[in-house]
Amino acid sequence: MKLKALLVFVLAAVLVSACSVAFAADRKIVVGFAQIGAESDWRVANTNSIRTACEEAGFDLRFVDGQQRQENQIKALRDFITQGVDVIGFSPVVESGWDEVIAEINEAGIPLILLDRTTDIAGDNYFVTWIGSDFLEEGRKAGRWLVEYMQKTGRGRDEINIVELQGTVGSGPAIDRKKGFEEVIKDYPNLRITQSQTGDFTRDLGKTVMESFLKRGERIDVLYAHNDDMALGAIQAIKEAGLKPAEDVIVIGVDAVKGAFEAMLAGEMNVTVECSPLLGPQFVEAVQAIMAGKELPKITYSIEYVYSQEVTRRVVDGRQF
Ligand code: GZL
């Protein structure tokens, strides 16, 4: 009798697990994504890439625009926990202030993918994988381009005044793009940052802060902007001050959004360091790997280049962002 009961039990267990697998195979993967906002062309392209890739993958995507406010992102993350999503994706607007909500996500056992930006939480056990750019290297690339450009144009020994438009205060890209740039120029004492202030990655604030830099009346030779949107706003301020952008004031940006290419073709910007927003496909691959129980590397960098004024219309027309 006992053997018969055991066989019935085993058969029932196999049927239940088969049904749960079948159910799992039928239902959509549910993904919660807490996006920073829509502060720049880069962010808009990033959102489009995520939405398109998730739609093509057939995910049930719950997408929240945090409007660049940390409290909105924290609320979205808590809502995802309540909804019991399968995977959470997240790009933290700033590095600090996430410990509590991340602990709640970990407690709920929901896999977390960091996309683009990072947090200052110690260790890397709290997330499955981070996909994004090397912001420190982007700052170094901007610094190296400037050193080479000054030497190439015979100004390698001139006293050069640099003004800096920083990204969102406390954000990973703002912290590391500043650090990487300064790491390079520290070996050239004639290259000095004379004014530095946040433009919060937006075009409007970039213009306003550049106006204040110009109003100080000190000579400005170079603008280093942590993203192209602030650089494009600053270009307007430079022109309204009667100066020629890319000539009187060398203009360096980061992101390589289409507006920067158009400005370079118009002779109003010198260089942009690429930071790819097209992370959607890599994000989808990571979600699918997690759902299939596969291992993932902790870090996946996107491949990026430096584009200077000698770009052709062909390059511009071929770009996706
Ligand atoms: C960088 C990204 C930054 C962009 C800005 O990966 O976080 O945020 O450089 C965007 O344009 O606002």
Whole-number Å distance, alpha carbon 42 to ligand 1 midpoint, is: 6
Taking residues 19-27, report their average pLDDT. 54
Packed helices 228-240 and 203-215: angle between N→C axes, nearest 10 degrees: 40
> Quick check: 113 and 127 in contact, CB under 8 A?
yes
Which residue's CA lies nearest to atom 1 of ligand 1? 173
Q: What is the pLDDT of residue 2?
A: 62
Taking residues 189-199, report their average pLDDT. 98
**Mean pLDDT value across the chain:** 93
Kindly report the number of other CB atoms within 10 A of residue 30's CB atom: 15
Q: How confident is the model at residue 7 (pLDDT cuts 50, 70, 90)?
A: low
CB-based contacts of 109: which residues, under 8 Å, 6+ apart? none
Which residue's CA lies nearest to atom 3 of ligand 1? 173
> Quick check: 299 and 129 in contact, CB under 8 A?
yes
pTM for the complete prediction?
0.89
Which residue's CA lies nearest to atom 8 of ligand 1? 43
3 has a pLDDT exceeding 90: no
Q: Whole-angstrom Cα distance, residue 303 to residue 300?
A: 10
Taking residues 302-306, report their average pLDDT. 84
Taking residues 70-96, report their average pLDDT. 98
Q: What is the pLDDT of residue 76?
A: 98
Whole-number Å distance, alpha carbon 283 to ligand 1 midpoint, is: 17
Q: Ligand 1: residues whose CB is within 6 Å? A: 39-40, 42-43, 116-117, 132-133, 173, 201, 227, 229, 254-255, 275
> Quick check: 214 and 239 in contact, CB under 8 A?
no
24 has a pLDDT exceeding 60: no
> Quick check: 198 and 227 in contact, CB under 8 A?
no
Q: How confident is the model at residue 303 (pLDDT cuts 50, 70, 90)?
A: confident
Please give the number of the atom of ligand 1 that sits closest to the Cα of 254. Answer: 9
Taking residues 150-179, report their average pLDDT. 97
